[in-house]
């Protein structure tokens, strides 16, 4: 095995061993990436430039700063329950018995954990699992670190999961984490290409809103809930209007010739470190359960 590859795999082995000690059952994942260039081409393969098209696929860009579009606390406070008020989180058994109902008539309302989608797809920059790998690669002259990033996201179905497009200089990485029966990563990386993705937050907002709806227990959905229409007139609820002049953006470039291209899709397990190899591009990705 080539010494450079042996060095990378050694780093990944120890990082994966460490990550496996933090398993849990959450469906929200922290993702960390390190992208580097291999300054010495490994092998005798002739590498030619290729055309890369990202037309027809959903792409998003990570948010630099969270922009809150919905004030969930204000929304919840505006709910008008037609039934007697109750706590969603807990209904004491003893209190339920005071209604003179037989135990068989008492329906058990399932408990659930409220999701916190506020930080989804927001750049964290700080590496936790991959920090040691990043530092060791950065000290070696045969590698050039091109990019690092981290964020939190859910794993959606293959059809609904978007590609996250990270652009650094004239290079880029598109990464799609999705779940069918198992977790999968779909990775596209390129060097020396000029491609762009929409920074519109509509896709991200829809993912967050759908997750918020899905988190409501079935028992709660049966209640007839009215929302005060005035809530939509409050500044803290409704997204601020965007100046039409500010909304003008450069047209997207979805097809270009790139000098080096890596494309790979693979099934993965959470709480592991994954290495995507190319004669000129190296990508290390950690996907682990987010507490």
pLDDT above 60: residue 257: yes
Q: Would you give the distance in Å from CA 4 to the centre of its chain?
A: 30
pLDDT score of 247? 46
Distant-in-sequence, close-in-space partners of 62: CB < 8 Å, separation ≥ 6: 121, 122, 123, 149, 151, 164, 166
Q: Which residue has the higher pLDDT, 180 or 70?
A: 180
DSSP the chain: --HHHHHHHHHHHHHHHHHGGG----SEEEEEEEEEEESS--SSPPP--EEEE-TTS-EE--BSS------HHHHHHTEEESS----SS---HHHHHTT---GGGPPPPPP-PPP--TTBTB-----STTHHHHHHHHT-TTEEEEEEEEEEEE-B-TTTPPEEEEEETTEEEEEEEEESSSEEEEEEEEES--------SHHHHHHHHHHHHHTS-HHHHTS-EEE-GGGGGSTTTSPPPPPTTTT--PPP--EEEESEEEEEEEEE-SSEEEEEE-SSEEEEEEEEE--
pLDDT score of 1? 52
Q: Which residue has the higher pLDDT, 73 or 117?
A: 117
Q: Tokens 């190319």 sit at which residue?
A: 278
Percentage of the residues of the chain whose pLDDT score is greater than 90 = 52
- In whole angstroms, what is the distance from residue 3 CA to residue 42 CA? 10
Most confident of 7-11, 41-45, 147-151: 147-151
Band of residue 10 on the pLDDT scale cut at 50, 70, 90: low
Low-confidence winner among 9-18, 79-88, 201-210, 263-272 (lowest mean pLDDT): 79-88
Kindly state the average pLDDT of the residues 249-266.
92
Kindly state the average pLDDT of the residues 127-142.
96
pLDDT above 60: residue 21: no
pLDDT score of 78? 59
- In whole angstroms, what is the distance from residue 48 CA to residue 44 CA? 13
pLDDT score of 141? 94
pLDDT above 60: residue 239: no
pLDDT above 60: residue 221: no
pLDDT above 70: residue 36: yes
Q: Which residue has the higher pLDDT, 150 or 11?
A: 150
- Give tens-digit pLDDT for 55-94: 999 999 999 865 555 556 555 565 555 554 444 444 454 5
How high is the mean pLDDT of the chain? 78
């Amino acid at each position: 095995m080539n010494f450079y590859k042996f060095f990378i795999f050694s780093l990944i082995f120890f990082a994966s061993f460490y990550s496996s000690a933090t398993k849990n059952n959450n469906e929200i994942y922290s993702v960390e990436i390190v992208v580097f260039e291999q300054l010495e081409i490994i092998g005798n393969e002739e590498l030619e430039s290729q055309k890369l098209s990202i037309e027809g696929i959903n792409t998003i860009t990570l948010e630099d700063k969270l922009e809150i579009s919905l004030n969930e606390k204000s929304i919840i406070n505006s709910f008008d329950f037609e039934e007697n008020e109750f706590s969603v989180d807990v209904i004491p058994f003893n209190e339920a018995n005071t209604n003179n109902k037989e135990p068989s008539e008492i329906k058990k309302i399932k408990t659930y954990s409220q999701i916190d989608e506020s930080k989804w797809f927001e750049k964290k920059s700080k590496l936790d699992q991959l920090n040691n790998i990043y530092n060791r690669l950065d000290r070696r002259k045969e590698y050039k670190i091109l990019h690092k990033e981290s964020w939190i996201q859910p794993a959606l179905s293959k059809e609904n999961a978007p590609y996250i497009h990270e652009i650094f200089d004239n290079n880029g990485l598109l990464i799609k984490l999705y779940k069918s029966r198992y977790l999968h990563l779909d990775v596209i990386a390129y060097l020396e290409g000029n491609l762009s993705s929409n920074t519109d937050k509509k896709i991200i907002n829809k993912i967050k809103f759908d997750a918020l709806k899905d988190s409501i227990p079935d028992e709660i959905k049966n209640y007839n809930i009215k929302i005060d229409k005035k809530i939509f007139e409050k500044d803290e609820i409704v997204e601020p209007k965007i100046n039409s002049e500010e909304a003008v953006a450069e047209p997207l470039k979805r097809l270009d010739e790139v000098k080096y291209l890596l494309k790979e899709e693979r099934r993965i397990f959470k709480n592991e470190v994954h290495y995507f190899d190319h004669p000129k591009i190296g990508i290390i990705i950690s996907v682990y359960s987010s507490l």
